[in-house]
A and B are shown apart, each in its own frame.
Chain A
């Protein structure tokens, strides 16, 4: 499967600041990447589908102005959490699908803590 690199792995930021998380597909040109959020003891929640060269598709209930997604190249998608609040503290994971139903390759995740 694809090799996906995500960083940072951990970040602590102050309330009101913005944080950028990067997701790179190292060996596969990904026209589509996915961003998930994971709450403790809960499943992955799909936040948005990142489309190369066009706007991201957000799931219902996800604020697009708060979670900015940019997919400027076939190998890089970024998620920016703007004006972060403590309730944004979570584990964010990106993934790439090679489109052949062999599954998804996930990044290692980013633990965001907003203080």
Chain B
């Protein structure tokens, strides 16, 4: 299997919460990241979490890390149409991260 796995699609209604999930295989990962990619653009770092943390919150974004299960999630509260994008999970223990395939978030009215 792949080192970092994500589901490919998520569809939510505007105003609802979105939860994007990610699993990884390397238990020695030290940093885990969430990136956002809008159509035709590069990746934008949304947030990151160090492996000794369980949770990190930044405005509408909440990251949860279950290190035992190697599971990372990104929750977006009050999802807006501008949140429609591809969200990449990534992990690293050295200087170079490994990315998942990305989850395409579709927000509909």
- Do the beta carbons of A103 and B100 come within 8 Å of each other? no
**Which of A41, A42, A106 is in CB contact (< 8 Å) with B42?**
A106
CA distance A101 to B49 in the complex (A): 10
How many A residues, CB 8 Å from partner?
26
List residues of chain B with CB within 8 A of the CB of A1: 45
List residues of chain A with CB within 8 A of the CB of B43: 44, 93, 95, 104, 106
- Chain B's interface size range is 20 to 34
Beyond A97-B95, A108-B41, is A103–B88 a contact (Cβ under 8 Å)?
no
CA distance A6 to B99 in the complex (A): 21
Within 8 A of B (CB), among A83-110: 93, 95, 97, 99, 101-109
CA distance A99 to B45 in the complex (A): 15
- Do the beta carbons of B41 and A43 come within 8 Å of each other? no
Within 8 A of A (CB), among B1-51: 4, 8, 30-31, 33, 35, 40-45, 48
Answer whether residue A51 sits at the interface, using C-beta atoms and an 8 A cutoff: no
Answer whether residue A56 sits at the interface, using C-beta atoms and an 8 A cutoff: no
Answer whether residue A49 sits at the interface, using C-beta atoms and an 8 A cutoff: yes
**Which of A104, A107, A109 is in CB contact (< 8 Å) with B97?**
A104
Least CB separation from A9: chain B residue: B40
List residues of chain B with CB within 8 A of the CB of A49: 96
A-B contact list, 7 entries, CB within 8 Å: A1-B45, A34-B96, A41-B8, A46-B96, A95-B43, A104-B97, A108-B41
Other A-B contacts than A97-B95, A103-B45, 16 sampled, CB-CB below 8 A, are A6-B42, A32-B95, A41-B8, A43-B4, A43-B100, A93-B43, A99-B95, A101-B48, A102-B48, A103-B31, A103-B35, A106-B42, A108-B42, A109-B40, A109-B41, A111-B40
